[in-house]
Chain A
Amino acid sequence: MPTSSEKVEKAEVPEKAMATVPAGTPATNGTPAPRKPRAPRHGWHRALEVIVIVALIIGANVLITLGFELYSSLANVMWDEYRAAANENIDTVIVGSSTGQRSFDPSVLDATLGTTTFNMATPAQELDDSYTAAKQAIEDHHVKRVILALDYESVSTVKWPGSHVAFARAKMAGESFPQAVADYWKLLTSSSFFDGADSICALFPWGYNHVELDAEHIATNFNDRVSDTTPVEAAERVMDGWTYYGNGYGNYDGVLDYSTARDHLSVSVDGPADFDQQGLDWIQNICDLCRENGVQLVVVVTPRPAYNVLAYGEKYPEQMSRLQQVVEQAGGTFLDANLARGGWYEPRDTDFYDGEHLNHDGAARFSQAFVGALQVLDAGGSTSDLTYSYDQWDNYLASIDEISAVISTSYLEDNNTVVSAMAYTGSNVQVEYRFSLVAEDGSTTVIQDWSASDTCAIPEDEIPEGSSQVEVCVRQVGSTVGYDRYCMQDISG
């Protein structure tokens, strides 16, 4: 009989104590004998090697950055134009994200108010960058008024490292080398970068804000950068339909197609996130900055189509009231254009470029309305009557008398494809739906005529082979129009 030690020798367990092999020891389980480690090099030789390798990597990085990093970025446009206006007497600046960039036309404000306004808002501008922009304008021009343009996402959790990098890089371009290095170091060590891979990857800025990845765009970008082309000229050429109107403001002319509202919803499938405390803290910092410098701060929630406000449900007044509290307690003025009362500002359907942004005409109309608000403030009045308060959310809902949009989804249930629709409208509006199957040739067959039901079950055998679409129309009850809004839902047979 074997001994117990013999038994365990046969056991399937880890054998050799690999744990005792020091790190870096070459593997020795292969057949060929491992090569002898190379002889150690002299110190100067190794130092030279390191210098050459680092220089080559930096050189490659610089070359790729020249070709890939977007010269026509809107952050670059803003900072370039801002530097060009260095000798102008700017007294008002607008900071914030793209919603601010495309909601305020400085020329409209200045024409009535007699001010000189510069729009420093840039796409996805983070609040700490808004702080930086406002601080820079206060230092450079002693501005009297800062308008901070926000939307729900500005203070919720979505982070855009690319925006940070683009903003910092564009700002650096006009700075002295030590200042540029200091600014970029500040970015790398900022709270949102320092603990993560972005703090290293941002040393390779070409990945954060790059051209479209084809040879033509890369070559054009490279040429623009090394030629006399200004960022504005490059941006107008690269961004189809975008026009620069001056003082940092540029916009598009397109109009939102409301049948594609689902694609323009800002709320994710997980529902709206609560506001980020860090974001609220930065707003507090901006308020403090303005107060300490005797600058008037107006925080504006920029307009968007009603459906893209209603999609947040009760979260909207709940979270926005937190924001309002922070601003007003710090002495700023808060204005939510989405809750505007009819007498002050009523956006038209055609004012919107997409679910979040105004087009140029829309920006002009909103800017004109906003002039009225600023005049009230300048006269020492209050703007609180211009909008519904968040306590009056129900009144706001009741004030909406049109259907803003309809969206749909589909799912499988008991061998049926169920199309479910949702109309975004006011609380007093009664709606009815109609569902039609759309054939490949575009012809439609009504499968569920006008009714209050917002779902339609389609048996599997009634759906043609391949992919099909269902047209969902919605209108107010009692209306005789063909429809108020519609959307298309893809289904598969």
Chain B
Amino acid sequence: MIKRYKGRVVVPGDVIAEALVTHTGFNTLANLKTAGSFLNPRGVLQDMNNPELYGKKMPGKILCLPETIGSTTGGMVLYCASVMGVGPACMLFSKKADTLAVAGAVLTANWSEHPIILVDDLGDEFLQEIKEGQRIHVKEDGTVLVECEDLFDAAP
């Protein structure tokens, strides 16, 4: 079965990857403070205030979230994580994305070889239904396909 959602594209791209899900705000600095360095080379998430994500690995995943919160280093931390290969492949927001997340994605789109795809405004239902580990296909036009049988057929 294909579950289909349509969001607004902020940074376009096409990717298939596993979902990583948080139902509360993603504190970018708290999670990725040392990601990419020898202290945390695999990009393990470190925000103890977020039990859904604490201890999980971020690189290459599709992060599904309502919003990012916390320090205004947020966007540049996402940028650094992406450049160092430990960022998410894509961020899918149930709400309109916040300034820090957009900044991070926009920086990667303009100043790096590894843009973080960002689609927002997918609705509360998206975040209620998406489960960690589900495979997701995000398309250039903001279409989001979840756990569909013909996922690989749909790939570009």
Tell me if chain B binds chain A: no
User: Which of A's residues lie within 8 Å of B, judged by CB?
Assistant: none
Binding site for A on B (CB under 8 A): none
